Amino acid sequence: MVTPGSGGEPREGSAVPERMPTIRDVALLAGVATSTVSRALSKPERVNRHTRERIEAAAAQLNYVPSSQAQGLSSGRTNAVAVLVPDITNPFYFDIIRGTQHQLKAAGYTQLLVDTEESSEMELEALHKMRRSADGFILAASRLTDTQLAEVSGIQPVVTINRASASTPTVVIDTPSAVVQALEHLASLGHHRVCYVSGPPTSWSNRARWNVFEEESSKRGLEVHHIGPFTPKTTSGAAAADAAARTGATACIVFNDLLAIGMLQRLRERGIRVPEDMSIVGSDDIFGADFCNPPLTTIASPIEQAGRVAVSMLLSQLNPVPGRSSRQLAVMPTHLTIRASTGPAPA
């Protein structure tokens, strides 16, 4: 229709559906059975070296790539791992994604990335729909209840990140202990009225941080305030900043950097100086925390590493070593990174 040329030459820019070589083609070329090819490629020791080399040559010549689909069908494993994050938008998760991606690739797995949009329903749905296409799941900051989580992890291999639970292997980032550091830091700067700026109520780590905050603050005799919840986005920072200013607190520990950065912007607009009038501590040390204005004092977390560890834990669950039982909990250390958003309490 387009070009009535002789013999249907491939149109430029469109895929030629030329049949891909199969294991059969390789077997034929190498003069062996398909089973031998399969073994030569996956369990090299199961096949004579000479035969194997012939097969490898044939495979190379044909440019053969096994179909992971077919492989999966018969072997029952997909060699893929799904990573579910509440919000792809959030730089925090990007570091996680980067970590998982890296480690998964190294182990020969494919990463299936899913954005659950902070919704436990979507999370469950993905978990359900993908159970056939992934060997395991990594849930970053899962919004699931304990019950749901237990149920899910009874059905398929799961590792959670920043969501402790008895039923599931977990890697948690130890922000609570750094909250203590942050509080000490603020106290030593002379702050007496401190405020916790809360993130999503469904977030386990938010609850964990608040608990420590409250406990430690009162232990130190500080006047404690609590505002929120706020959506953990820079855009919610304005509301958070206003609310924080109203409490009369001179220092805030904020659920995460995103929110903290948003607050910084708003405070600046309102002429509230940071740190002279108010100190701000964020959490996560995401991309941007070092170059915002002022640079943010924050609870630095090895986020990417957390992603990596999560993958390791999942993989050791998928391919268990008979002797050693796989680790159920990894705690990633954190520390306070002090930059310019914290300073002495106003006189």
Partner DNA sequence: ACAGTTGCGGCAAGCGGTTGCCAAAAGTTG
Partner DNA sequence: CAACTTTTGGCAACCGCTTGCCGCAACTGT
Contacting residues toward DNA, per CB under 7 A:
19-20, 22-24, 31-36, 38-39, 41-42, 46-52, 64-67, 70-71, 73-75
Question: Does 243 interact with a copy of itself (rule: CB under 8 A)?
Answer: no
For 211, the token pair is: 């608990």
Total binding residues for a copy of itself by CB under 8 A?
62
Separation CA 228–CA 231 (nearest Å): 9
CB burial class (10 A; 0-12, 13-18, 19+) of residue 16?
A: exposed
Among 33, 35, 113, 145, binds a copy of itself (CB under 8 A): 113
Identity of the residue, 49 or 273, whose beta carbon is nearer to DNA in the bound complex: 49
Residue placing its CB nearer to DNA in the complex, 50 or 324: 50
Q: How far is CA 250 from CA 99, 138, 192, 281, 324, in A?
A: 36, 39, 7, 11, 50
At closest approach, how far in Å is the CB of 232 from DNA?
Answer: 38
d(CA 205, CA 202): 9
Report helix, strand or coil for 191: coil
Q: Is residue 233 part of the contact set for a copy of itself (CB under 8 A)? A: no
Beta strands in 109-189 (DSSP E): 110-115, 136-140, 158-161, 170-173
- We find the least distance from the C-beta atom of residue 315 to DNA, in angstroms, to be 17
Rule CB under 8 A: is residue 10 a binding residue for a copy of itself? yes
Cα separation, 232 vs 220, whole angstroms: 28
Fill in the amino acid letter for 327.
R
Cβ–Cβ < 8 Å for 139, 123:
yes
CB of 305 to DNA, least distance (A): 32
- Cβ-based nearer residue to a copy of itself, 214 or 269: 269
Q: How many angstroms from the chain centroid is the CA of residue 165?
A: 17
User: Which element (helix H / strand E) includes 12?
Assistant: none
Tell me if the bond preceding 294 is cis, omega within 30° of 0. yes
Comparison of 41 and 238: residue with beta carbon closer to DNA: 41
Q: Which does 207 bind (CB under 5 to 8 A by kind): a copy of itself, DNA, none?
A: none
Cβ nearer to a copy of itself, comparing 50 with 132: 132
Q: Does 317 bind a copy of itself (CB under 8 A)?
A: yes
Contact partner, 201, from a copy of itself, DNA, none, Cβ < 5-8 Å per class: none
Shortest reach from residue 256's CB to DNA, in Å: 41
Written as six digits, the tokens of 135 are 């060997």
Among residues 33, 57, 60, 70, which is the contact residue for a copy of itself, using CB under 8 A? 70
- CA–CA separation, 215 and 32 (whole Å): 71
Contact footprint for a copy of itself (CB under 8 A): 2, 10, 12-16, 18, 20, 63, 65-70, 72-73, 78, 88-89, 91, 94, 97-98, 101-102, 105, 110-115, 128-133, 153-157, 166-169, 234, 261, 264-265, 287-288, 291-294, 317, 325, 328
